[in-house]
Amino acid sequence: MEPQVASDGNLGRSMNVVFLSPNYPPEMQQYTRGLAEVGARVLGVGDTPVSGLAPVVRRSLVDYLQVPRMLDEEDVIRRVHHWLRGRSVDRVLANWEVLVMTAARLRERFGMEGMDPDTVRGFRDKQVMKERVRAAGLRTARSRRVRTVAEVEAAVAEIGYPLILKPIDGAGSANTWRLDGPADLPPVLRAMRSVPEASCEEFITGEEFTYDTLCVGGRPVFENVAQYLPPALVARTREELSPIIITVRDMDAPKYGDGVALGRSVLGALGMGDGFTHMEWFRTGSGEAIFGEIGCRPGGANLVDQMNWSCDIDLFREWARVACFGSFAASAERRYNCAIIFKRARGQGRITRIEGLRSFLADHGKHVVADQLLRPGSMRRNWKNTLLSDGFLAVRHPDWDTTRRIAEEAAERVVLHAGG
């Protein structure tokens, strides 16, 4: 017997929502909370033992299925299908990039409303994504799908240097490489030996921004623009930097208009449904807006927290309201620019001291909304594996230039040291 799938979102009863991986990554805990707060009965599926679930997750779930390996898609689908037999289920949701296709396949199996696998493929497969965006007449980087060394060499000959090589279904800038000439190719190919498919793309020079939305039926009910300082790939390759991301208060400024228009068009080209999107785009020196890539999920690295701090709202809960009932209840007024500054300790081992934090807080403490720096005694994180690195500071201010100046001061003045 298949799960009984409701055709209407509410039907005068509690909505049953399957949420994949409610405990990990850690920000998923807030989406789980949001679902419970809008009245959903949350059925969690994850590979975290029940004893390891965060208290907020345990409070928010009405049931939980522990699976051996959350990323074993076929096994998860089989187990969830068996677990849900005979139950009424209204939604299957996922906000972690690697699980959005699993959720789509479960919806398809159950005949449930929501984005289907082919639509989600347009947000996961970077080559399909760019082909669909180009077919809509939108500007994006030239690219080719590559699976072999010969295909990489052919793509390089067609596109030319500099170029980018990255996994076809990757997230963020993980395992993404810039190649400036023939000498760069052999070591990059060795580093990507375990990647079955990649996208070989034209390298776009310019400022890098995000376009983030929360959509109902593909129409944005909340929009956000943020700037990467420096561009993400530079931040991923230079350990000495303190990467900064700044959300924009004045989205009507001419500098962002073409990017917002591009983003809205991309949503239509890819058939977006309900939920978050996170897009990256470039503004060249000539002012042209060029599409980078997009995911049908929220941005990582505390970007949703930044958007919350920018507007004094709770987008974790508003996403849940959108996903369950197709409505957005919060004010979308943008009150602040908000900057997050990620820190990387100097040295290896455990954090031994933090230099400059006390004086920075004395000067700018009233603008600081979060201090999540690792404290002395904590072990350094591997900065190549997580943008969060060794923690972050977040600041906000109504004026863009002031926000950037304070953020750059944090990047320069606050230094974490490690050793031993």
Residues β-bridged to residue 351: 418
pLDDT single digits (tens) 296-315: 999 999 999 999 999 999 99
What pLDDT is recorded for position 94?
A: 98
Domain locations along the chain: 4-114, 142-202, 207-419
Give yes or no for a contact between 244 and 407, defined as CB atoms under 8 angstroms apart. Answer: yes
HSE of 188 in the Cβ direction (CA atoms, 13 Å)?
23
CA distance 100 to 94: 5
Answer whether CATH 3.40.50.720 is correct for domain 207-419.
no
What integer pLDDT is reported at residue 386 of this predicted model? 84
Q: What is the pLDDT of residues 133-183, one digit of tens each?
A: 999 999 999 888 999 989 888 989 999 999 989 888 766 556 788 899 999
Predicted pLDDT of residue 251: 94
Q: 4-114: what fold?
A: Rossmann fold (3.40.50)
Q: What is the pLDDT of residue 193?
A: 85
**How many residues are listed for the chain in this entry?**
420
In terms of Cβ atoms closer than 10 Å to its own Cβ (0-12, 13-18, 19+), residue 320 is: buried
Alpha-carbon gap, residue 34 to 37, rounded angstroms: 5
CA count, 13 A, side-chain hemisphere, 379: 2
* Class (C level, CATH) for 142-202: alpha beta
Mark the ranges of the chain whose per-residue pLDDT is less than 70. Answer: 1-13, 170-174
- pLDDT of 237: 86
Sheet strand arrangement including 392-397: 289-295, 275-283, 207-216, 219-229, 244-247, 337-342, 392-397, 368-371
Asked if domains 4-114 and 207-419 share a fold, the reply is no
pLDDT value at position 191?
87
Query: Would you state the pLDDT for residue 7?
Result: 34
